[in-house]
Structure 1
Amino acid sequence: MDKKTYYINVGTGEVLEDKAALNYEFEISATEEELDKLQELFEETDNSSQGSYATSWLPWKVYYSNEVNQEYDYYLTEVYRAIHQLGSEQTKRHIESMNVLENGV
């Protein structure tokens, strides 16, 4: 399968083909299958963030004692891991400088 270039905004979960369409953070090259997997990770991150938000109003809860927060962190790390694997050299360097990937790349 042929790879195409996509532009990613992690904060909004957007994946676009048009470089000028938004403020993007990362550039990747991906097949349709790889792109589908990344979009599934964005969906899982979004689903888990909604549960995490509900518990954020409880100041006596320790962040990591909540499974929902751990789930959100897991999926967000997986998003960055996938972007790193598919990313341009600049994208890879940027993600590595962020130190967001646990247990290496």
Structure 2
Amino acid sequence: MEKRTYYINVGTGEVLEDSTALDYEFEISATEDDIAKLQELFEETDNSSQGSYATSWLPWKVYYSNETNQEYDYYLTEVYRTLHRLGSEQTKRHIETMNVLENGI
């Protein structure tokens, strides 16, 4: 399968083909299958984010005692792992400086 260049905004979960269409954070080179998997990860991250919000206002809950928070961290880490694997050299360097791959988010 042919790889194409895509531009990613993690905060909004957007995958763009046009770098001028919207602000983006990362540039990757990916196949259509790679993009489908990345979009699934964005969906899982969004779903788990909504679940963790429900308990975020409870001051007596420790962040990691909530399984939903752990699920959110897992999927967000997988998003960054995927972006690192598919990313340009600049994308890879930026993600490495974030320290999100080894220790979780």
The residue identity in structure 2 corresponding to 1:55 is T
- Secondary structure of the residue aligned to 2:95 is helix
Alpha-carbon RMSD:
1.2
Distance 2:56 2:91 in 1: 31
Q: Which residue of 1 aligns with 2:43?
A: 43
- Residue 21 of structure 1 corresponds to 21
| CA–CA distance in structure 1, aligned partners of residues 63 and 21 of structure 2 | 35
Aligned partners of 1:102 and 1:69: how far apart in 2?
A: 18
Q: Deviations over 1:29-65 (max 9, x none)?
A: 0000011000000000000000010010101100000
| Cα distance in 2, alignment partners of residues 43 and 102 from structure 1 | 22
| Residue number in structure 1 paired with 2:92 | 92
State the match for 2:72 in structure 1: 72
Calculate percent identity across the aligned residue pairs: 86
Aligned length: 104
Say if 1:77 and 1:102, in contact at 8 Å, map to a contact too. no
List alignment gaps of at least 5 residues for structure 1: none
**Structure 2 unaligned blocks of 5 or more:** none
